[in-house]
């Protein structure tokens, strides 16, 4: 099959491309390199079944493919809030462009949605039939509401045009190839611990998240794309039900790095959800899927990745100001669309 992965040069997308190639599929990786990097897929470039296309998903594109994994969208709050209008455009216009493509060529299409559609949830753990508690006008809304509209479009293209759609609601996922300056909690804590810096815990640190290792997630996504079942067009939660407070996560990172850590409490960002835990009964039933990698094991693999990367780049590490400037440049380019 020829498979399109949008956002394929990003963290999850690059693991997905790698896995699909290992199964002898032909992969087209499409990315505008906002938060993705060529280096994430550099090792795949020599594979004759792999193609890398620089393209912004807010613009239509004509391709002939059998399946589409629509992952393009910045996922870290720091990145998706950098140019919020562009984030909405990527989710909404990106979904429309990809659904139009799927409709034209008869491809099956999967949308990477998110646990953020549940907002600050009042139901715990979260089941797929919960409508969520999302602020439509806050700083996280560009991401949360963008993904909610993307889900709406997927359901309507299915009902109206009979497009073969899938929706995965991904809970916090971590692993190698997250950006060092990503801003998400796992990469922040690991990088800080490796550098001997204080770990920045936002708020009291008693808010919870459930962390899934990237290989487990990719396995679930591929199963969802390929399973045949009656009501498979409905959203499916994928995540690891193990739930940790940020204070507990800091201690787990300390163990994985093998160092003593100090905590620095910082202000809690606006609308930060208090709790998050997936109910994965639907994924178990439809996909026979559940995560196999514990937080301790996954953190060890991720620490190994960052330890190696930080050693290699320590002499040329960008200052925060330089990183922000680089991001601004990329974002201004993207904003023109
Ligand atoms: P990421 O930022 O590493 O990857 C996103 C990729 O999309 C990057 O390569 C980026 O350059 C690309 N991209 C962004 N805007 C684009 C545009 N307009 N056109 C083309 N490419 C564009 O993030 P990730 O963690 O790999 O997330 C991948 C997907 O999974 C996202 O859709 C995200 O919303 C979803 N998701 C991730 C998590 C998680 O915990 N990692 C949780 C829930 C949902
Ligand atoms: N967080 C933190 N320190 C950091 C980064 C994040 O305590 O350096 C907290 C953040 O406030 C949130 C949780 O960790 O409560 C998860 O944040 P992340 O950005 O990784 O994911 P999301 O909030 O989108 O689930």
From the CA of 214, the nearest ligand is 1
Nearest Cα neighbor of 202 from 247, 244, 243 is 247
pTM score, whole prediction:
0.93
Which residue numbers are catalytic?
143
- Which listed ligand is nearest to 31 at the C-alpha? 1
Q: How many whole angstroms separate alpha carbon 147 and alpha carbon 149? A: 5
Residue 22: other Cβ atoms inside 10 A: 9
Compute the distance between CA of residue 58 and CA of residue 30 in angstroms, rounded to an integer: 12
CATH number for 2-176+211-240+276-292 (one of 3.40.50.300, 2.40.128.50, 3.90.1150.10, 3.40.50.720): it is 3.40.50.720
Helices in the chain by DSSP H: which ranges?
11-22, 77-80, 84-105, 141-161, 185-194, 214-226, 246-257, 281-287, 295-313, 320-335
Neighbour count for residue 43 (Cβ, 10 Å) = 11
Task: Give the pLDDT confidence score for residue 58 in this predicted structure.
Answer: 98
Q: Which residues line ligand 2 (CB under 6 A)?
A: 77, 172, 184-185, 188, 200-202, 207, 209, 246, 268-269, 272
Residue 312: half-sphere exposure toward Cβ, Cα within 13 Å: 7
Judged on CB neighbours under 10 Å (0-12, 13-18, 19+), 146 is buried
User: Which residues form ligand 1's pocket by a CB distance below 6 Å?
Assistant: 7, 9-13, 31-36, 56-58, 71-75, 90, 94, 112, 114, 170, 172-173
Give the CA radius of gyration of the chain: 19
Q: Which of 53, 73, 96 to mutate to test the pocket of ligand 1 (most atoms within 8 A of CB)?
A: 73
- At 10-29, the pLDDT tens digits run 999 999 999 999 999 999 99
Nearest alpha carbon to residue 98 among 86, 107, 89: 107
Cα(276) to centroid of ligand 2, in Å?
11
CA of 203 to the centre of ligand 2 (A): 10
Comparing CA positions, the residue from 79, 10, 3 lying closest to residue 39 is: 10
Residue 30 and residue 39: Cα distance in Å, rounded? 14
**Distance (Å, whole) CA 55 – CA 58:** 9
The torsion angles phi and psi of 135, rounded to 5 degrees, stand at -75, 120
Instruction: Specify the length of the chain in residues.
Output: 337
The answer to whether 3 and 51 have CB atoms below 8 angstroms apart is: no
Which residues are bridge partners to 200 per DSSP?
264
Q: Position of tokens 């009291």?
A: 204
Distance of CA 7 from the midpoint of ligand 1 (Å) = 6
Q: What is the pLDDT of residue 320?
A: 36
Q: What pLDDT, on the 0 to 100 scale, is given for residue 316?
A: 39
> Averaged in consecutive runs of 10 residues, what is the pLDDT profile of the chain (337 residues)?
98 98 98 97 98 98 98 97 98 98 98 98 98 98 98 98 98 97 96 97 98 98 92 95 98 96 96 97 97 98 93 46 40 40
Peptide bond into 125 cis (omega under 30): yes
Given the CA of residue 14, which atom of ligand 1 is nearest to it?
A: 26
Nearest bound ligand to the CA of residue 121: 2
């Amino acid at each position: 099959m020829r498979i399109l992965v949008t956002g394929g040069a990003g963290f999850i997308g690059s693991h997905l491309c790698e896995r699909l190639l290992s199964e002898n599929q032909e992969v087209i990786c499409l990315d505008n390199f906002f938060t993705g990097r060529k280096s994430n897929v550099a090792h795949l470039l020599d594979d004759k079944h792999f193609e890398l296309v620089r393209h912004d998903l807010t613009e239509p594109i004509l391709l002939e493919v059998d399946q589409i994994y629509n992952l393009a969208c910045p996922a870290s709050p720091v990145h998706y809030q950098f140019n919020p209008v562009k984030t909405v455009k990527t989710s909404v216009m990106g979904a429309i462009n990809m659904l139009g493509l799927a409709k034209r060529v008869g491809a099956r299409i999967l949308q990477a949605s998110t646990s953020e559609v549940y907002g600050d949830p009042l139901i715990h753990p979260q089941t797929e039939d919960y409508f969520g508690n999302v602020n439509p006008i806050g700083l996280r809304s560009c991401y949360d509401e963008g993904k909610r509209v993307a889900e709406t479009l997927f359901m309507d293209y299915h009902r109206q045009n009979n497009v073969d759609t899938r929706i995965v609601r991904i809970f916090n996922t971590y692993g190698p190839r997250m950006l060092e300056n990503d801003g998400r909690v796992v990469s922040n804590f690991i990088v800080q611990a490796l550098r001997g810096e204080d770990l920045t815990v936002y708020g009291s640190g008693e808010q919870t998240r459930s962390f899934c290792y990237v290989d487990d997630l990719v396995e679930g996504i591929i199963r969802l794309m390929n399973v045949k079942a009656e009501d498979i067009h409905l959203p499916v939660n994928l995540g690891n039900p193990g739930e940790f407070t940020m204070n507990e996560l800091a201690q787990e990172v300390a163990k994985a790095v093998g160092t003593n850590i100090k905590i620095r409490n910082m202000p809690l960002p606006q609308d930060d959800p208090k709790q998050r835990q997936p109910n994965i009964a639907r994924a178990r039933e439809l996909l026979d899927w559940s995560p196999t990698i514990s937080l301790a094991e996954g953190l060890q693999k991720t620490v190994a990745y960052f330890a190696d990367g930080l050693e290699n780049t320590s002499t040329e590490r960008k200052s925060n100001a330089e990183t922000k400037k680089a991001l601004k440049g990329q974002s201004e380019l993207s904003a023109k669309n």
